[in-house]
Structure 1
């Protein structure tokens, strides 16, 4: 289906051109294949020419739908920032985050992490005061599974999360998810939305897989997370309303904050009152052949709650590293000290936040989560975000 409005066609062309310069810039594409083939067959256009295209689009934003107009204004600001950086311009790191993602993250006081450490010291097995990072790693290691068991356990997670999502919001009959294992990637798992209601979800085996995390990861990537958002927005915004921009979700866009907000809160939406801990102990653990002693669900819940504030450690490390306050060794040490990460996991986190595609992306997770969790009605907000174009700044107000 070729978008009828010139704006939509020009928008798709521009993003496809940028993708030729930045592989991975486009997170998904389900627009006209003829248009993509036409753009890919031509030589790459220079950033200066792409910047002219951005300006023309900014001058011709459709205004019939005010919400869409505001959304497109912010997305084109993000695209402009990306193209300027592609051209070699230097942008202050936090200004880059704002221009691309429509958010203004701040460093979280390290006393917040230290308070979380004190709680964990009381909860984790081992002697009080002994190496907290080592005790946390030992706790997590008890939930590790061999990658050879992952697919069968992920099928359990798929069935449960889909059933609960279908009870929460209507899903089309033709949607589907394929699961694969992969390696040598900067991320832990990734949803590749393919269009026509289909997704490929890849799980990275570079790092150990934890049986207690599989359900949450599938909710994040699949139901009611990234896959569900992709399905519903393709139908409602692209196919029914003809919004061409929806057919080409971008990694460098305010929409990424919304997408990761949906994904990071997905598990709690379909498992209210933290009931996923009980489900894991009653269903997933026996399927994995792991013991589940009495009180395990409650203990997992308490440790997870104590660890929640550590989600901001990566953002702090990214700010400190990209503003020149820490070098790579210092950033890894920071992740290990405050995030209680193993050396291997800290290095993996740093590789993500220094990857050209993801250097400012790390904030989409924590800020996206907070925008939904702190809203007056998180469930209603979640439903709305699955089907509408909403900016982070609009949720923050």
Structure 2
């Protein structure tokens, strides 16, 4: 049985729009943007003009809905329209695209926020016995925990079953058929890790060995790409759809839509869901010393992401050029040359530049939401995150309702760009 929020023609048309946008992105930029689709609907719209006409039809048809479905669908349909405009080459301000496609702000992260994050990192490094400046401590930590490129897959493999065990125990259930068939290395790409859902509850993981990897950072990215991150999300959605519990109108994942901050924010917080960064949790034989390393790695990645996100905004707003963006990331985030260059390739890409802010904002939206929920209410939180179709706005409202307070995860970033000093 297929669960539907709308009539069959409208629901199928929504999936058709998504899959047709995917075909246009592949035609124009050789990129897949619909990375999962669980229904049997096939793309039929052969041009951007046809897609726009179908968006107009769907927009009219959903007006009679009420409650959560109409809020979700209005946001998604608006994002389809703006994504289509970006594919057409419309030169709108970057902030307008981010607001309408992802329902996210695009203000630079404040100096005060970044200073506090650096302080967390420095405290973590000092607690592990490192001496010197922040950079000296971080570089020594990096050197001591570095993994040889030919060992990255082996170390990732060693984490796979432990992270799945923790996911099933503390986060969500998955069908017995779930699994990651292989983990492989790759070179020549700008991303660090990639989770490819292949269908029938299975997936594959790939890690970029052009960049340096440390064991604590790899643990974060393994949880992000595998369990309880992307593989868990993809598999869970597929299972829910097949059980008639996920509506066809949300039976896919689309890059550049208002769901992105949840899809990246959950995996960015995945290691915390496992409890691998908390002393008080009994977790899959992860010793205390390793948990302290993993906590430090999370804080370190957050510090880097702040510098990367600011570079993304400043570059796409035309305030800095490539060389300045790379130098900024190296200086403020302690990124190496390869990492900074890869990140620039990511947020300057015509498709991915509108996706990139979902990592930073998703991390804080989901992470702060999780921390605001009492331990006994975590199952209800995970039901909202994994099982309920949400946009950025509807998820924020859901957390507000669960906590009984006004949840405002992005307030610290509300600062005028002209007040920012490079």
Shorter-chain TM-score bucket reads 0.7 to 0.9
Q: CA deviation at 1:120?
A: 4.9
Between 1:367-376 and 1:307-316, the stretch displaced more is 307-316
Unaligned residue ranges in structure 1 (runs of 5+): 284-293
Residue 17 of structure 1 pairs with residue 25 of structure 2: no
Residue in structure 2 matching 1:190, options 190, 194, 202: 194
Name the structure 1 match of 2:263.
259
Q: TM-score, normalised by structure 2?
A: 0.80
Q: Which residue of 2 aligns with 1:274?
A: 278
Distance change (3 Å), C-alpha of 1:174 and 1:326: same
* 1:205-234 residue CA offsets vs partner (Å, 9 max, x unmatched): 121222222322221111111111112222
| In 2, Cα distance between equivalents of 1:59 and 1:280 | 51
Show structure 2 runs of 5+ residues with no match: 27-31, 398-422
Number of the residue aligned with 1:94: 95
Q: What is the alpha-carbon distance in structure 2 between the residues aligned to residue 144 and residue 273 of structure 1?
A: 19
The structure-2 alpha-carbon separation of the partners of 1:297 and 1:174, relative to structure 1 and needing over 3 Å to count, comes to closer
For residues 61-90 of structure 1, the C-alpha deviation after alignment (integer angstroms, 9 at most, x for no partner) is 286673232212111111100111222211
Cα distance in 1 for partners of 2:107, 2:281 equals 31
Contact 1:113 1:310 in 2 (8 A): no
Aligned: 1:363 with 2:367 = no
Contact map agreement 2:10 2:58 (CA 8 A) in 1: yes
Q: Of the candidates 230, 248, 265, which is equivalent to residue 244 of structure 1?
A: 248
Pick aligned residue for 2:345 from 339, 348, 351: 351
Q: Which residue of 1 aligns with 2:163?
A: 161
Alpha carbons of structure 1 residues 331 and 308: separation in structure 2 relative to 1, 3 Å: same
Query: Paired residue for 1:26?
Result: 34
Counting only pairs closer than 5 Å after superposition, residues 1-397 of structure 1 correspond to structure 2 as 5-23=8-26, 24-32=32-40, 35=42, 39=44, 45-61=46-62, 66-117=67-118, 120=121, 123=125, 128-129=132-133, 132-133=134-135, 135-168=137-170, 169-178=172-181, 179-237=183-241, 239-241=243-245, 243-271=247-275, 274-275=278-279, 298=292, 301=295, 305=299, 308-375=302-369, 376-377=372-373, 379=378, 380-397=380-397
Q: Deviation at 1:46?
A: 2.8
Count of aligned pairs between the two proteins? 378
TM-score (norm 1): 0.84
3-state SS, counterpart of residue 353 of structure 2:
coil
8 A contact 2:265–2:358 mirrored in 1? yes
Query: C-alpha offsets along residues 157-185 of structure 1, whole Å, 9 cap, x if unaligned?
Result: 11101111111222211111122222222
Residue aligned with 2:350, SS: coil
CA RMSD of aligned residues (A): 3.0
Tell me the alpha carbon deviations over residues 278-330 of structure 1, each in whole angstroms, 9 at most, x when there is no partner. Answer: 979967xxxxxxxxxx9675466457547644432222111111111101111
Distance, in Å, in 2 between the alignment partners of 1:255 and 1:118 is: 31
The answer to whether the Cα contact below 8 Å between 1:182 and 1:202 also exists between their aligned partners in 2 is yes
User: Measured at CA, do residues 120 and 86 of structure 1 come closer, stay the same or move farther in structure 2, by a change above 3 Å?
Assistant: closer
